[in-house]
């Protein structure tokens, strides 16, 4: 393992030195690969392209990020930005605002969730293109090539900013791809509300119990937070929304919100292209403000409860509230 860490450190140093002019590009890519982007960006775009694909994206994002959290607790992966300092290595590398995540590093959550979510999206695109251009089979492979490029770029960006070692990125991408293939075929569209309530609070409770069990075994699960706080160059780069319990509450909140949205409007709203585009624009603005909504960081329990509630709102806003309002006004316009 030490050899993998050393190799990864050299690779990060080489990337920062040789691709310095592409720094802004890598920072944009790492933000695109952030798990929260799957909920706030990929989900609304995919939902207004295809309701089933959108639901699949939210479903896959929540389950894959939850599993990533559990794997991180069990695998204890180091992160380059603190490992380099702990080992007193004399190499010239730079930290960034996105570097200082506080959870363990293996597997990469960015790579894992990106691979899982975007496989669902690009598979749907490939299937759509294949139906429209049956004589041009090569065209259907374009989305898969884009998928490889995107996942690779996200992985490189994580190495570049010192958030992950290469083997953590590869492990996350492979695991995410498997989850995308498996979970993308099992979308819970027709499930009752009690299924989502049970799943949401079941995943929340099971993660808390796993955490408590590991703590009782003498395993200190706060070790990564201590190292992150110690070696991050700027204190303001340490954010509570990057902690493991933040991702847990995001996943469970989104699943509960998905159940509520499907319960309130099982088939969605029938919208033509124009109203759908308008719904996407308004939903995106709404999600931007939901994301930017400041939350009190103390006490932490209050923060996590409010963070949970924030993501409960996301699916109903995109699937029910905004499309419903657009349907109401466009229907009245056509009637008049």
pLDDT in tens, 156-187: 999 999 999 999 999 999 999 999 999 998 99
Which tokens sit at 177? 């791809």
Structure token digits, residue 70: 């559990």
**Are 223 and 231 in contact, with CB atoms under 8 Å apart?**
no
Spans of the chain below 50 pLDDT: 335-336
Q: Count CB neighbours of 241 within 10 A.
A: 16
In a domain, 312, yes or no: yes
Q: Is residue 229 part of a domain?
A: yes
- CA gap 177, 114 in Å, rounded: 9
Does residue 265 sit within a domain? yes
Give the number of C-alpha atoms closer than 13 A to the C-alpha of residue 5, restricted to the C-beta side.
16
Q: What is the pLDDT of residue 137?
A: 66
Per the CB < 8 A criterion, the answer to whether 30 and 79 are in contact is: no
Encode pLDDT of 141-152 as tens digits.
889 999 999 999
In a domain, 132, yes or no: yes
Exposure of 258 in the CB half-sphere (CA atoms within 13 A): 32
Picking from 47, 127, 80, the residue whose alpha carbon sits closest to that of residue 228 is 80
pLDDT at 135 (0 to 100): 62
52 is in an annotated binding site: no
> How confident is the model at residue 64, as a pLDDT?
97
| Two structure tokens written together for 83 | 């490992």
Stated pTM of the model: 0.93
> How far apart are alpha carbons 240 and 242 in whole angstroms?
5
Domain count for the chain, please give it: 1
Enclosing domain of residue 296? 2-330
Catalytic residue among 31, 110, 289, 327: 110
pLDDT the model gives residue 266? 85
3-state secondary structure of 243: coil
Task: Answer whether residue 335 is part of any domain.
Answer: no
Does residue 292 have a known ligand-binding role?
A: no
Are 27 and 256 spatial neighbours (Cβ–Cβ below 8 Å)? no
Burial 19-40 (b: 16+ CB within 10 A, else e): eeeeeeebbebbbbbbbbbbbb
Is 164 among the catalytic positions?
yes
* 276 found inside a domain: yes
Of 164, 167, 211, 291, the catalytic one is 164
Residue 61 lies in a domain: yes
At 213, list the tokens.
Answer: 């069990």
**Does residue 192 sit within a domain?**
yes
Which residues, 6 or more positions from 306, have their beta carbon under 8 angstroms from its beta carbon? 295, 296
Tokens representing 126? Answer: 């490939």
Rounded CA gap, 104 and 166, in Å?
14
């Amino acid at each position: 393992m030490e050899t993998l860490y050393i190799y990864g450190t050299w690779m990060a140093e080489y990337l920062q030195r040789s691709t310095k002019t592409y720094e802004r590009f890598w920072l944009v890519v790492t933000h695109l690969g952030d798990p929260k982007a799957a909920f706030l960006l990929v989900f609304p775009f995919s939902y207004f392209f295809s309701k089933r694909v959108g639901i699949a994206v939210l479903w896959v994002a929540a389950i894959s990020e939850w599993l990533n959290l559990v794997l991180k607790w069990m695998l204890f992966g180091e992160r380059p930005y603190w490992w380099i300092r702990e080992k007193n290595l004399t190499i010239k590398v730079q930290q960034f605002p996105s570097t200082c995540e506080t959870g363990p590093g293996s597997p990469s959550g960015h790579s894992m969730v990106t691979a899982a979510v975007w496989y669902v999206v690009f598979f749907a695109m490939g299937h759509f293109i294949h139906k429209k251009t049956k004589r041009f089979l090569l065209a259907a492979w374009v989305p898969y090539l884009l998928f490889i490029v995107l996942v690779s770029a996200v992985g490189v960006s994580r190495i570049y900013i010192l958030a992950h070692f290469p083997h953590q990125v590869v492990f996350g991408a492979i695991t995410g791809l498997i989850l995308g293939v498996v979970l993308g075929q099992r979308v819970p569209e027709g499930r009752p509300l009690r299924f989502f309530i049970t799943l949401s609070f079941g995943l929340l409770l099971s993660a808390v119990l796993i955490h408590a069990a590991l703590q009782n075994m003498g395993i200190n699960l706060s070790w990564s937070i201590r190292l992150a706080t110690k070696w991050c160059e700027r204190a303001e780069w340490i954010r509570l929304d990057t902690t493991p319990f933040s991702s847990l509450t995001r996943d469970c909140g989104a699943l509960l919100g998905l159940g509520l949205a499907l319960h309130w409007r099982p088939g969605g709203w029938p919208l033509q292209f124009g109203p759908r585009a308008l719904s996407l624009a308004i939903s995106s603005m709404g999600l931007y403000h939901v994301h930017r909504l400041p939350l009190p960081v103390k006490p932490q329990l209050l923060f996590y409860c409010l963070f949970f509630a924030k993501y409960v709102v996301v699916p109903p806003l995109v699937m029910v509230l905004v499309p419903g309002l657009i349907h109401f006004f466009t229907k009245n316009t056509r009637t008049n």
